[in-house]
Structure 1
Amino acid sequence: MRFGMFVPQGWRHDLVGFDPGEEWAVMRSIAQRADRADSPWESIWVYDHFHTVPVPSDTESTHEAWALMAAFAASTERVRLGQMCTCMAYRNPAYLAKAATTVDHVSGGRLEMGIGAGWYEHEWRAFGYGFPDAPERLRMLREGVEILHQAWATGTATFHGEHYDVDGAIFRPLPIQEGGIPMWVAGGGEKVTLRIAAKYASYTNFFGSLDEFSHKSEVLRGHCERVDRDFASITRSSNFNTVIGTDAADVERRLAAIEARLAPYLGPDATARYMADLHSPAVLVGTVGEVTAKLADAKERGLGYAISYFPEAAYDLSGIELYEREVIPALA
Structure 2
Amino acid sequence: MRFGAFVPQGWRFDLVGIAPAQQWQAMSDVATHLDGGAWESLWVYDHFHTTPVASHEATHEAWTLMSAFAASTSRIRLGQMCTCMGYRNPAYLAKVAATVDIISGGRTEMGIGGGWYEHEWRAYGYGFPEIPQRLGMLREGVDIMSQAWRTGSATLSGKYFQVDGAIVEPRPLQAGGIPLWIAGGGEKVTLKIAARVAQYTNFTGTLEEFDHKSTVLRQHCDAIGRPFEQITRSSNFNTIVGETEGEAAERLDTVMARLTPHVGEARAERIRAEYENSPGYGTIEQVAERLAERQAHGLGYAIHYFPEMAYDRSGVELFERSVMRELS
**TM-score (norm. length: structure 2):** 0.99
Deviation at 1:279, TM superposition (A): 2.8
The 2-side partners of 1:101 and 1:283 are apart by 35
Deviation at 1:178, TM superposition (A): 0.3
Residue in 1 aligned with 2:62? Answer: 65
Deviations 1:199-249 (A, max 9, x none): 000000011111111110110000001111111010000000001010111
Deviation at 1:250, TM superposition (A): 0.5
Pairing partner for 2:258 from 238, 258, 261: 261
SS where residue 303 of structure 2 aligns? strand
Is 1:158 matched with 2:155?
A: yes
The 1-side partners of 2:254 and 2:297 are apart by 33
Residue in 2 aligned with 1:20? Answer: 20
SS where residue 72 of structure 1 aligns? helix
Residue in 2 aligned with 1:9? Answer: 9
The 1-side partners of 2:136 and 2:264 are apart by 38
The 2-side partners of 1:206 and 1:266 are apart by 26
Residue in 2 aligned with 1:330? Answer: 326
The 1-side partners of 2:169 and 2:60 are apart by 28
Pairing partner for 2:303 from 307, 312, 315: 307
Can you give the 5+ residue segments of structure 2 that lack an aligned partner in the other structure?
Answer: none
CA contact (8 A) 1:55 1:270 kept: no
Residue in 2 aligned with 1:132? Answer: 129
Deviation at 1:71, TM superposition (A): 0.3
CA contact (8 A) 2:112 2:181 kept: yes
Residue in 1 aligned with 2:170? Answer: 173
CA contact (8 A) 2:5 2:303 kept: yes
1:185-224 superposed matches below 5 A: 185-224=182-221
Residue in 2 aligned with 1:48? Answer: 46
Is 1:290 matched with 2:294?
A: no
The 2-side partners of 1:25 and 1:141 are apart by 34
CA contact (8 A) 1:4 1:45 kept: yes
Deviation at 1:119, TM superposition (A): 0.2
Deviation at 1:69, TM superposition (A): 0.2
Deviation at 1:86, TM superposition (A): 0.1
CA contact (8 A) 2:279 2:290 kept: no
Residue in 2 aligned with 1:237? Answer: 234
Residue in 2 aligned with 1:317? Answer: 313
Deviation at 1:277, TM superposition (A): 2.2
**TM-score (norm. length: structure 1):** 0.97
The 1-side partners of 2:231 and 2:163 are apart by 28
The 1-side partners of 2:219 and 2:225 are apart by 10
Can you give the 5+ residue segments of structure 1 that lack an aligned partner in the other structure?
Answer: none
CA contact (8 A) 1:157 1:166 kept: yes
CA contact (8 A) 2:279 2:291 kept: no
Instruction: Give the aligned CA root-mean-square deviation in angstroms.
Output: 0.8
Deviations 1:91-135 (A, max 9, x none): 000000001000000000000000000000000000000001111
Deviations 1:293-329 (A, max 9, x none): 0000000000000000001111111110110000011
- Identity of aligned pairs, percent? 61
SS where residue 276 of structure 2 aligns? coil
Pairing partner for 1:88 from 78, 85, 88: 85
Deviations 1:128-181 (A, max 9, x none): 000011111000000101101111111111101111001111111111000000
Matched to 1:62, the amino acid is: T
The 1-side partners of 2:19 and 2:153 are apart by 44
Is 1:75 matched with 2:72?
A: yes
CA contact (8 A) 1:43 1:80 kept: yes
CA contact (8 A) 1:54 1:273 kept: no
The 1-side partners of 2:118 and 2:41 are apart by 28
Deviation at 1:7, TM superposition (A): 0.2
The 1-side partners of 2:230 and 2:87 are apart by 29
